[in-house]
Amino acid sequence: MPVFVGIGANLGDPVAQVFDALARLGRDLPETRLSGRSRLYRNPPMGPRDQPDYVNAVARLETRLEPRALLHRLQATEVACGRRRDGTRWGPRLLDLDLLLFGGEVIDEPGLRVPHPGIAERDFVLLPLLELAPGLMIPGHGPIAALCRGMPGTALQAIPEEARA
C-alpha cells in the first residue's frame, strides 16, 4: 500500500533530524520500504511564533502494515529520536512524523484520521507531496495540483541537498 508521511523538526539540528528520520523510515519499519522523498523545506512555524523555523519533507512508503500498526511504528520512531509528547500543540519538537495518506483510504477513528486533518491547508505538506506524486488525488479534497494552485508557498525555502548533515 502506498502511504505518505510528513516529517518535521525544529529543534537540535533539524536538517540532520529529517535525514535521520528518512533513514529510519527506510530501514526500521517492518514490511515497509522507502520509495521516495521530497526535497527538504524550511518554513516558519505553524502556531506559536516564538520558536525556530521548521524543516519539513514528505516520504513515500510502500507498506504491508495496517494503518494503526504503521502509526504506532511512526510514534515509536519519534520517541527513539527524542520526541517527548507534553500535550503542546504545534510546539517545538525534535521530530514529528504524520501519517498523511494511506493509499486512497479515509479513516476516522480515535487517534487516527487519514487523510491527515489540515492536509489541504498546509503548503509545507502539499508542495512536497506534489513533488512526489503530481497526479495524486487526496480523498475528500481532490487533485493535489489543484490544491497547490491555491497555496502561496512564499514562506517555503527549499534547502539545497549539500546542506545534508
User: Given 20, 96, 122, 123, which residue is catalytic?
Assistant: 96
The CA dihedral of 131, 118, 22, 71, to the nearest 10 degrees, is -130
Clarify whether 83 is annotated catalytic. Answer: yes
User: Given 60, 73, 83, 122, which residue is catalytic?
Assistant: 83
DSSP assignment of 39-88 = -EEEEPPSS-SSSPPEEEEEEEEEE-S-HHHHHHHHHHHHHHTT----S-
- Find out whether 130 and 145 touch, Cβ atoms under 8 Å: yes
- Residue 45 grid cell: 512555524
Clarify whether 53 is annotated catalytic. Answer: no
User: Given 42, 73, 93, 122, which residue is catalytic?
Assistant: 93
Clarify whether 39 is annotated catalytic. Answer: no
User: Given 20, 98, 122, 123, which residue is catalytic?
Assistant: 98
Clarify whether 96 is annotated catalytic. Answer: yes
What is each CA distance from 35 to 3, 61, 63, 140, in whole angstroms? 10, 5, 10, 25
Query: What is the 8-class DSSP label of residue 36?
Result: E
Could you give the residue numbers annotated as active site? 83, 93, 96, 98
